[in-house]
A and B are shown apart, each in its own frame.
Chain A
Amino acid sequence: MAAAKKSVTKETGQDKGNGADTPPDFTREQELRALRDMLLIRRFEEKAGQLYGMGAIGGFCHLYIGQEAIVVGMQMALKQGDQVITGYRDHGHMLACGMDAKGVMAELTGRRGGYSKGKGGSMHMFSKEKNFFGGHGIVGAQVSLGTGLAFANRYRGNDFVSLAYFGDGASNQGQVYESFNMAELWKLPVVYIIENNRYAMGTSVTRSSAQTDFSKRGISFNIPGEQIDGMDVRAVKAAGDRAVAWCRAGKGPFILEMQTYRYRGHSMSDPAKYRTREEVDKVRHDQDPIEQVRNRLLAAKVSEQELKAIDAEVREIVNASADFAQNDPEPDASELYTDVYR
């Protein structure tokens, strides 16, 4: 994984890359917030994996473990009113947006207190209140939809920005490029965040992509792009700041390729035979986004005790969400026919 940031931007005129190999330091508060938010996602996903194993969660369940720095760093670059949309690996995005862990977990277990009343499941959750627009199960669909969110911002003349997250796999879908074209043509304020975790399900990027530098995927549309170390939350946040500012200024879309890694399989049923245990362990050991922050905090003389308190707070939230998700009743049978039309 290239830690060095590379830019294919030609005319942004912003500081991007040159001399920015080490991202700006976080304040202590930023480090603590990043640690807490990333930990919440990690512990939540571990719990979801457990519940899946127990049969409490059904169907597909795609865990975000390993990629936490991306959503947490990007969220730090947003302001109230900006929108977020993503694909099926969406639990981390929802928690980063501030959605309630109970509501997310209860949706995973298919209960009435879930964000979609139990009718959406892992891949289909939304929160109007938190400006989270899903949760989409069809690979790549969220890219056009997210471009549409940006279209609405431009139509209304506000300065909100939409973030459309997708993976290295979705990057090969046709509608992604249809969207790129219109986004640049109409100068839509959308940041395309390509979470390159190196595998589209079981197919590595080198086996699926003619151009594996995803920051270059917008070149033929004149969309600037950057390759970012997506395991370093500071680098993500700094890149997010640049991209969001670019969009807010009315300059059109921006592409951020986040180089990252998922520790778990594509879904719960994935034996992950397409990569070695050593490869996974090496990333975990060398680049874990949470350990990076923890180590920096410890080096900055934050006490173990303070960090343990964060751990405890997060565990309590996650445990409470799991309790709720297992005890909340299933949706009433009458819900079968509601919400088809309004």
Chain B
Amino acid sequence: MPIQVLMPALSPTMEKGNLSKWLKKEGEAIKSGDVIAEIETDKATMEVEATDEGTLGKILIPEGTADVAVNTPIATILSDGESADDLGKATAPAKQQKAAESAPPAEAKAEAPASGGDEEKKAPAAPKATAEPDPEIPDGTEMVTMTIREALRDAMAEEMRRDADVFVMGEEVAEYQGAYKVTQGLLQEFGARRVIDTPITEHGFAGIGVGAAMAGLKPIVEFMTFNFAMQAMDQIINSAAKTLYMSGGQMGCSIVFRGPNGAAARVAAQHSQDYSAWYSQVPGLKVIAPYSAADYKGLLKAAIRDPNPVIFLENEMLYGHSGEVPKLDDYLIPIGKARIARSGGHVTIVSWSNGMSYALKAADELAKEGIEAEVIDLRTLRPMDTDTIIASVKKTGRAVTVEEGWQQNGVGAEIAARIMEHAFDYLDAPVGRVSGKDVPMPYAANLEKLALPSVAEVVAAAKAVCYR
């Protein structure tokens, strides 16, 4: 029976890819291990190897096709003795089963029910939010659609053009073009002196970055993920955050530590922690965790210019998301200013980073039931824009926080405390908290989904504080 070749998942977060090239023609013999096609993901161009022997029967997705969903049949392979006449049979058997045989990288996903849907629920695409425009953008400014990954790259490139003291260092940032392609093209433009591949040595290169900053340079230190920055925690906190104070204001440290934070997809406990609460507890650090593409760009530029150490928490699930970014020569967003992403009068939902995905989608759901949620995107966790939260709560009388991190001593706990301190008399219900569950992140798809917040939980929490 002909074997279907399915669009493989080539990374934990890949949902679709472009079929850029077929390297075998219909009718050509194929051995296991032959490269049959090239697929472009949002991170890289990858080769697809055949895992079966036979003849390439039919190409189902022509080269040049963009956005082919994972697990879509892209070709059929005929076994010995089969001919093109047998092709019709290929469509009959269950696709999921065949996926396991013919596309090993997709195996796990193929066996998990509705894996595509999973991803979507975990990181829902930005719903059409009735976003309030940022006041900083002049009327009539042209908007450019770009991915968050591109927005970050552009922010770094612009600041590196502007200031020769700015450089970027980290694992795979230069020749590999970034493990998540965020630093793509920087080596080509700025050269190896300013785009520096480090060994795998987080503690050491964080310290070198801080030392260079104490000497007056402005390093951007990329952690491949913030999970690995625990190795560097001492340098970040004891050296970067405290030196200005310990030196009586003499010696500071203008440095940005950036990289993906929190859960990606199916990478389990050691690669999925959200450090929002950890860093935002420390005086001397500024902590930024944006959601929209425009905020990623404007806030990273502001972070690089800031004379203090800044923790810039990105989210891998969002890297491929696109958004509109104002086409301005110098688009800066002030650190410490929240944004009202959606206006409403019934309940305030406060979130940041990928938590906004759940919050905005929940607001859509709630609207269908007549509850108008005001969604605040904190953007910066330290200094926290308490005023914006309090003003909203005074209006709505109800609040829910949404975060992917753990609940105990979480950022949501801090927000709830501030609301209690500053708007107790305005509250019509205790503040609700939606968070990651109190467990290390599990690997199994169903458990992972349960461990993260969900849109349904946000909806339920919002209704609960509205007593509905």
Interface residues of A (CB under 8 A from B): 83, 85, 114-120, 124-128, 133-138, 141, 143-153, 155, 174-175, 178-179, 181-182, 185, 338-342
Closest-CB distance, A154 to chain B (whole angstroms): 9
Count of chain B residues with a beta carbon within 8 Å of a chain A beta carbon: 39
Q: Is the CB of A119 within 8 A of B204?
A: no
Closest-CB distance, A103 to chain B (whole angstroms): 10
User: 5 closest A-B pairs (Cβ-Cβ)?
Assistant: A148-B211, A144-B207, A178-B204, A152-B215, A117-B248
Closest-CB distance, A239 to chain B (whole angstroms): 23
Q: A138-B238, A340-B283 are in contact. Are A116 and B207 (CB under 8 A)?
A: no
Given the complex, which residues of B lie within 8 Å of A155, measured CB to CB? Answer: 167, 193, 212, 217
- Residue in chain A with minimal CB distance to B215: A152
Q: Is the CB of A182 within 8 A of B249?
A: no
Q: Is the CB of A141 within 8 A of B308?
A: no
Against A, the Cβ 8 Å flags (1 = close, 0 = not) of B200-223 are 010111111111111111000000
> At the interface, yes or no: B247 with Cβ under 8 Å from chain A?
yes
Contact partner of A147 among B208, B213, B249, CB < 8 A?
B208
Contact partner of B247 among A126, A149, A152, CB < 8 A?
A126
CA distance A141 to B307 in the complex (A): 22
- B204, B208, B244: most-surrounded residue (chain A CB, <10 A): B208
Contact partner of B246 among A119, A151, A182, A338, CB < 8 A?
A119
Closest-CB distance, A166 to chain B (whole angstroms): 12
CA distance A144 to B207 in the complex (A): 5
Given the complex, which residues of B lie within 8 Å of A152, measured CB to CB? Answer: 211-212, 215-217
Given the complex, which residues of B lie within 8 Å of A146, measured CB to CB? Answer: 211
- A115, A136, A141: most-surrounded residue (chain B CB, <10 A): A141
Q: Is the CB of A128 within 8 A of B205?
A: no
- Residue in chain A with minimal CB distance to B285: A341
Closest-CB distance, B406 to chain A (whole angstroms): 27
Q: A147-B208, A148-B209, A182-B208 are in contact. Are A133 and B214 (CB under 8 A)?
A: yes
Q: Is the CB of B234 within 8 A of A181?
A: no
Closest-CB distance, B130 to chain A (whole angstroms): 34
- Residue in chain B with minimal CB distance to A137: B238
Contact partner of B250 among A126, A137, A179, CB < 8 A?
A126
Q: Is the CB of B203 within 8 A of A116?
A: no
> At the interface, yes or no: B273 with Cβ under 8 Å from chain A?
no
Contact partner of A120 among B201, B213, B247, CB < 8 A?
B247
Contact partner of A342 among B203, B239, B246, B249, CB < 8 A?
B249
Given the complex, which residues of B lie within 8 Å of A135, measured CB to CB? Answer: 246
Given the complex, which residues of A lie within 8 Å of B248, measured CB to CB? Answer: 114-120, 339
Given the complex, which residues of B lie within 8 Å of A342, measured CB to CB? Answer: 244, 249, 252, 307-308
Against A, the Cβ 8 Å flags (1 = close, 0 = not) of B426-454 are 00000000000000000000000000000
Q: List 25 A-B contacts (CB under 8 A).
A: A83-B215, A117-B248, A126-B247, A128-B251, A133-B215, A136-B238, A141-B207, A144-B207, A144-B210, A145-B207, A146-B211, A147-B207, A149-B212, A151-B212, A152-B211, A152-B212, A152-B215, A174-B203, A175-B235, A181-B204, A182-B198, A182-B201, A182-B208, A339-B248, A340-B284
Q: Is the CB of A119 within 8 A of B245?
A: yes
Q: A141-B234, A148-B210 are in contact. Are A175 and B250 (CB under 8 A)?
A: no
Contact partner of B210 among A124, A145, A338, A339, CB < 8 A?
A145
- Residue in chain A with minimal CB distance to B201: A178
Interface residue ranges of B302-350 to A (CB < 8 Å): 307-308
> At the interface, yes or no: B18 with Cβ under 8 Å from chain A?
no
Q: Is the CB of B211 within 8 A of A134?
A: no
- Residue in chain B with minimal CB distance to A146: B211
Q: A114-B248, A119-B245 are in contact. Are A341 and B284 (CB under 8 A)?
A: yes
Closest-CB distance, A197 to chain B (whole angstroms): 24
CA distance A125 to B239 in the complex (A): 13
> At the interface, yes or no: B199 with Cβ under 8 Å from chain A?
yes
Q: Is the CB of B199 within 8 A of A185?
A: yes
Given the complex, which residues of B lie within 8 Å of A124, measured CB to CB? Answer: 246-247
Q: Is the CB of B211 within 8 A of A116?
A: no
Given the complex, which residues of A lie within 8 Å of B307, measured CB to CB? Answer: 342
CA distance A185 to B252 in the complex (A): 27
Q: Is the CB of A144 within 8 A of B214?
A: no
> At the interface, yes or no: B72 with Cβ under 8 Å from chain A?
no
Given the complex, which residues of B lie within 8 Å of A181, measured CB to CB? Answer: 199, 201, 204
